[in-house]
Amino acid sequence: MKILVAVKRVIDANVKVRVKADQTGVETANVKMAMNPFCEIAVEEAVRLKEAGNAGEIVAVSVGPAACSETVRTALAMGADRGIVVEAPAETEPLAVAKILKAIAAREAPGLIMLGKQAIDNDCNQTGQMLAALLGWGQGTFASKLVFEGNKLRVTREVDGGLETLFLKLPAVVTTDLRLNTPRYASLPNIMKAKKKPIENLTSGDLGVDIAPRLEILKVAEPPKRSAGVRVANVADLVSRLRNEAKVI
């Protein structure tokens, strides 16, 4: 079975994000970039499935600027076999990415497509669901555990009330949550091997996909600063402030 893993290049999770002066977006110039943490989890799980004998090949795919090849190389160093980079604007919308992944799925015929449940830059949490709908495949979102049982995939997913278990027929789409695994660090020998693994470069035109934006960002602004809290003398004072000042009761 072939596993297709989508990976996204985002601002490193340890970097403080700054809004541009013109409020058209966030500052990315001279900012450290890295693989989206949820995508790292997806790659790690795909590698574990291959190590367990449940997959034969892992293909890492990234949609974005040419620099996304660095992100794909990271996936290759973690254990993916080959990569695909589809050059597109960095702000490509989730629906456009889903359409691109659908076109790649038609070429690659994977048995399983894995994505991080969301990207930490826009927190959309949409691409996996849109992709499953476009393909007409079963989906398991927010996966915290994956187990193959015959020709089905048992997905344990986190919901508000606890855990839900789904049985998916393959091919299927799975989005990964934080508690699924802990991604490995790529060793130096694997980083060197990754340099020799193939990466195919494509464009949306090669795939016949229209990625024209359908949304317009009017303004990006930092959240307002929170005011300092106050200490109340007793419960009666707390209730009074909640009723008369905060007006929440």
Per-domain residue ranges of the chain: 2-224
Q: Locate all alpha helices (DSSP H) within the chain, ordered by sequence.
A: 37-51, 68-78, 94-108, 127-135, 188-194, 204-207, 235-244
Evaluate whether the domain defined by 2-224 bears CATH number 3.30.70.1450: no
Mean pLDDT of 235-248: 90
> What was the pLDDT predicted at 29?
85
Question: What pTM value is reported for the model?
Answer: 0.86
**Distance separating alpha carbons of residues 158 and 141, to the nearest angstrom:** 8
> What was the pLDDT predicted at 239?
93
Q: Is it the case that residue 71 has pLDDT exceeding 90?
A: yes
* 24 — pLDDT class (breaks 50, 70, 90): confident
**Distance separating alpha carbons of residues 231 and 238, to the nearest angstrom:** 9
Expressed in percent and rounded to 5, the helix, strand and coil fractions of the chain are: 30, 30, 40
Mean pLDDT of 6-11: 95
* 222 — pLDDT class (breaks 50, 70, 90): confident
Q: Is it the case that residue 126 has pLDDT exceeding 90?
A: yes
Q: Is it the case that residue 6 has pLDDT exceeding 90?
A: yes
